[in-house]
Amino acid sequence: MRMSTMDKAIMSEREELKRTQRERRKNKKNQKQIEHVALRRFFTGIFLLGSLGIITGLTLLYGPWKNFREWLITTAMTTMTHQYYATWFYDEDIINDVLNRNKIVEIEEDTDTNQINFATNQPTEYENEFEKQILERDPKNNDYKIIEINEKKFSGYLVAVYDPARIQTVCTKKLGVSGQYLTQMAEENDALLAVNGGGFDDPNFSSTGGSPLGVTICNWAYTSQAKYSGAGGIIGFTRANKLILTSKVSVKEAKDKDIRDAVTFGPFLIVNGKKSSVVGNGGWGTAPRTAIAQRRDGIVLFLVIDGRTASKPGADMDDLIEVLLDYGAYNAANLDGGTSSVLVVNNTIVNDPIDSTGAHKTRPIATGFIVTKDEKDNSDHRVVADKLGEEAD
């Protein structure tokens, strides 16, 4: 039977449709194969990267190179909230061994305050650039001077306070319960500037900061007394406005030394011009830091160091000692560090504290040191003008 032209056209269309369907099925199958291959490659890559990461991590944690292991243990164990970074991976014997091989050997002396003699004359010549930075005062501010510190692995601020009589200790209003942010304490005490102070007890790692360690004295008032067996000891100012460091942590000792304001912490970095010995990495790791010092001419130094970034992790004890000696420190002590390290000027945080989550913020603390205001202060803060919302001259 002969097919008409129309029938042929219909048959041709059907054949074309079948070919199209077969082609689609073939393309779909090929696409699935491509997707499966890509997926296998993706998961293979993830597996290889994960395996490489695990091997690298295990090598760093347990391999023959001790630097990373010692850095991790010493950095973690000197924090109040992150010791688990060490205890997760190492037993007590390993941790103690590392800490014994990395420590600060403090000078076994108390401060000889007779060596501090307040300078009265403004020099016209300076021994070096560091002396010039300290002694060449800002024309508009005779009270203190802020100097930027910028080193390879850390940055921060050094504050030279010219009148130590105006330095006082402040405490949280909720003593024994919870700490306060330093900005709050500074504002409540009408402070010109402030830095964080001594350590505090932190039960259950809650970071409430309400219970200071050791002896705390605020303007002759003994606000807290607790046992303390850590490094350093009492860090305070006498009636004669001289910074005193004593390892004998007791109310009796503080009264005998005629101490008017004090916190408790350490280690002591420099005593009577002699620096402590740093064994290994010092046992305190690398982190944000705060330190206090006094020169022989009576000028007090506050040093606040930032850290916890990839390029600038922070300072170790050696770094603090080096910076403070450069600027003429005769007696110096480490204060609480990490997220506590804060410099406040005009009730504003001017450094860059970073907490354990990576957030750029500080935490409530128990104590701080403030510089009180007086009638002649005119708040010239050119170094930190951008953070204070002021225009630099």
Residue 315 lies in a domain: yes
Burial annotation 183-208 (CB, 10 A radius, 16+ → b, else e): bbbbeebebbbbbbbbbbbbeeeebb
In angstroms, the CA 353 to CA 339 distance is 6
Residue 264 lies in a domain: yes
160 and 55 co-located in one domain: no
58 and 134 co-located in one domain: no
93 and 135 co-located in one domain: no
pLDDT tens string 291-340:
999 999 999 999 999 998 989 999 999 999 999 999 999 999 999 999 99
Tens digit of each residue's pLDDT, the chain (393 residues): 555 666 666 667 667 666 777 777 766 666 767 666 666 676 666 665 665 555 555 555 555 556 666 666 666 666 555 576 567 666 677 766 667 677 888 999 999 999 999 987 777 789 999 999 999 988 778 889 999 999 999 999 999 999 999 999 999 999 888 999 999 999 999 999 999 999 998 766 556 778 899 999 999 999 988 889 889 999 999 999 999 999 999 999 999 999 999 999 999 999 999 999 988 777 788 899 999 999 999 999 999 999 989 899 999 999 999 999 999 999 999 999 999 999 999 999 999 999 878 889 999 999 999 999 887 766 677 888 888 876 545
89 and 217 co-located in one domain: no
Total-model pTM: 0.79
274 and 334 co-located in one domain: yes
Q: Looking at 47, 82, 101, which one is the last position of a domain?
A: 101
Residue 393 lies in a domain: no
142 and 82 co-located in one domain: no
Tally of domains in the chain: 3
322 and 357 co-located in one domain: yes
CA 313 to chain centroid, in Å, comes to 9
Q: What is the DSSP letter of 205?
A: G
**288: cis peptide before it, omega within 30°?**
no
257 and 207 co-located in one domain: yes
| Residue in the block written with tokens 């600060």 | 104
Residue 26 lies in a domain: yes
Residue 140 lies in a domain: yes
Structural domain harbouring 300 = 106-388
Alpha helix locations (H) across 88-243?
A: 92-101, 129-135, 182-188
302 and 356 co-located in one domain: yes
166 and 289 co-located in one domain: yes
In angstroms, the CA 365 to CA 183 distance is 11
178 and 272 co-located in one domain: yes
77 and 207 co-located in one domain: no
Q: Looking at 80, 101, 122, which one is the last position of a domain?
A: 101
